[in-house]
């Protein structure tokens, strides 16, 4: 076999690489000689992945519920990777901003449009039975969802409505965290008290989320954007994509999710109260929480229409032209 200049150049580079680590290149070439080829199934850990679904019941549709939650959590991880890179290892240039926020919107778009897997994809009678075996667990306890919020905006923007506009300027992170909107989202209708679901979540994650909020206090996406170089801050395309991120994360995904709650759980408030249910009908629709990661990018009219038909009317065409149909 001919040792072409390409091969010799690679060998030289390898020699340098291993020499810099005090290693002998030839031993590593021996390693290459003896090692098995990588397979697809080992690389993506297929067997492990397919062993992670452990239903609590024998209902045929329960694995669908588990797998779609797992798929969603993987997308949340993809989103968090981009947000972490943008906020904590910021390259500061417009190209990086555009690339990362576009990726985030694309992930959220896939999540919002795939929610039919839940809404259409399970037999209602089965769901209503197997969900009883899952209590008190709830998607509400998804910590990655909260991490996306904390990385995207300041805690002050996540405070519950009513208090949000009246927060003292010197409020500590802990004070803001204690009135964050979701602390009011898992309340027993009957007693007005926090549910076990919420209390268990707080015990597990309050400290970690507060630590994260401290790290991201001046480095969340909104703060980074507001303090960025004018070339970034005034870029029309980036402004539009950030607004689309806000719409997908805080209107379109919540609406797709809400549809599944309506499909399976819609009952009169008295019935929910009697069965120890939560206030989800007054909590999940995005028009009630009005969560916005980038409030500075919205007009008063747009804010007033948040989560309602008006916001869809205003943005449907624009968003669908870029990202495809909104569900």
d(C-alpha 76, C-alpha 104), whole Å: 9
Closest to ligand HEM by CB, 90 vs 138, is 138
Closest to ligand HEM by CB, 72 vs 228, is 72
Closest to ligand HEM by CB, 213 vs 224, is 213
Q: Which residue has the tokens 């003292």?
A: 168
Q: Does 75 bind ligand HEM (CB under 6 A)?
A: no
The residue sitting closest to ligand HEM, measured at its beta carbon, is 139
Residues 233-262 close enough to bind ligand HEM by CB under 6 A: 257, 260-261
d(C-alpha 83, C-alpha 107), whole Å: 12
Least distance from C-beta 303 to ligand HEM, angstroms? 18
In this structure, the dihedral spanned by the alpha carbons of residues 63, 68, 74 and 78, taken in order and rounded to 10 degrees, is: 170
Q: Does 118 bind ligand HEM (CB under 6 A)?
A: yes
Closest to ligand HEM by CB, 90 vs 114, is 114
Closest to ligand HEM by CB, 97 vs 294, is 294
Q: How does DSSP classify residue 299?
A: -
18, 28, 145, 298: which one contacts ligand HEM (CB under 6 A)? Answer: 145
- 54 half-sphere exposure, CB direction, 13 A CA radius: 3
Residues composing the chain: 327
Question: CA–CA distance from 195 to each of 199, 200, 258 (Å)?
Answer: 6, 9, 20
Q: Does 138 bind ligand HEM (CB under 6 A)?
A: yes
Least distance from C-beta 193 to ligand HEM, angstroms? 14
3-state SS of 85-108? HHHHCCCCCHHHHHHHHHHHHHHH
What is the contact mask toward ligand HEM in residues 156 to 185, using x (rule: CB under 6 A)? --------------------------x--x
56, 110, 142, 235: which one contacts ligand HEM (CB under 6 A)? Answer: 142
Residues 264-283 close enough to bind ligand HEM by CB under 6 A: 264-265, 278, 280
Residues 185-244 close enough to bind ligand HEM by CB under 6 A: 185-186, 197
Closest to ligand HEM by CB, 238 vs 246, is 246
Question: CA–CA distance from 199 to each of 185, 196, 208 (Å)?
Answer: 12, 5, 15
Among the residue ranges 2-10, 18-26, 134-142, 168-176, the one whose residues contact ligand HEM (CB under 6 A): 134-142
Q: Which of 106, 279, 92 is nearest to 198 (CA)?
A: 279
25, 69, 103, 235: which one contacts ligand HEM (CB under 6 A)? Answer: 69
Strand partners, 180: 159
d(C-alpha 281, C-alpha 261), whole Å: 9
Pair of tokens at residue 102: 């576009």
Burial classification of residue 139, based on how many CB atoms lie within 10 Å of its CB (0-12 exposed, 13-18 middle, 19 or more buried): middle
Residues that bind ligand HEM (CB under 6 A): 68-69, 72, 118, 138-140, 142, 145, 182, 185-186, 197, 257, 260-261, 264-265, 278, 280, 284
């Amino acid at each position: 076999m001919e040792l072409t200049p390409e091969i010799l150049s690679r060998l030289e580079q390898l020699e340098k690489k291993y020499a810099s680590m005090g290693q002998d290149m030839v031993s590593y070439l021996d390693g290459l000689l003896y090692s098995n080829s990588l397979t697809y199934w080992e690389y993506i850990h297929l067997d492990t992945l397919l062993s992670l679904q452990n239903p609590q019941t024998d209902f045929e549709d329960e694995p669908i519920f588990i797998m779609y939650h797992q798929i969603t959590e993987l997308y949340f991880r993809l989103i968090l990777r981009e947000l972490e890179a943008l906020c904590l290892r910021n390259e500061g240039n417009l190209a990086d901003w555009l690339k990362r926020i576009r990726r985030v919107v694309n992930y959220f778009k896939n999540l919002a449009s795939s929610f039919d897997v839940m809404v259409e994809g399970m037999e209602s009678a089965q769901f209503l039975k197997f969900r009883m075996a899952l209590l008190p667990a709830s998607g509400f306890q998804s910590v990655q969802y909260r991490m996306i919020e904390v990385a995207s905006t300041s805690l002050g923007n996540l405070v519950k409505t009513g208090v949000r506009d009246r927060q003292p300027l010197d409020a500590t992170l802990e004070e803001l965290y204690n009135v964050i909107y979701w602390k009011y989202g898992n309340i027993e209708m009957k007693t007005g008290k926090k549910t076990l679901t919420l209390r268990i979540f707080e015990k597990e994650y309050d400290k970690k989320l507060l630590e994260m909020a401290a790290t991201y206090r001046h480095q969340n996406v909104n703060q980074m954007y507001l303090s960025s170089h004018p070339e970034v801050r005034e870029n029309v395309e980036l402004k539009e994509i950030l607004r689309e991120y806000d719409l997908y994360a805080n209107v379109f995904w919540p609406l797709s999710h809400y549809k599944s709650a309506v499909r399976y759980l819609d009952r009169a408030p008295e019935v929910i109260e009697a069965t120890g249910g939560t206030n989800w009908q007054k909590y999940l629709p995005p028009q009630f929480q009005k969560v916005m990661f980038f409030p500075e990018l919205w007009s008063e009219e747009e804010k007033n229409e948040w989560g309602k038909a008006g916001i869809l009317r205003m943005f449907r065409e624009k968003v669908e032209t870029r990202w495809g149909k909104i569900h």
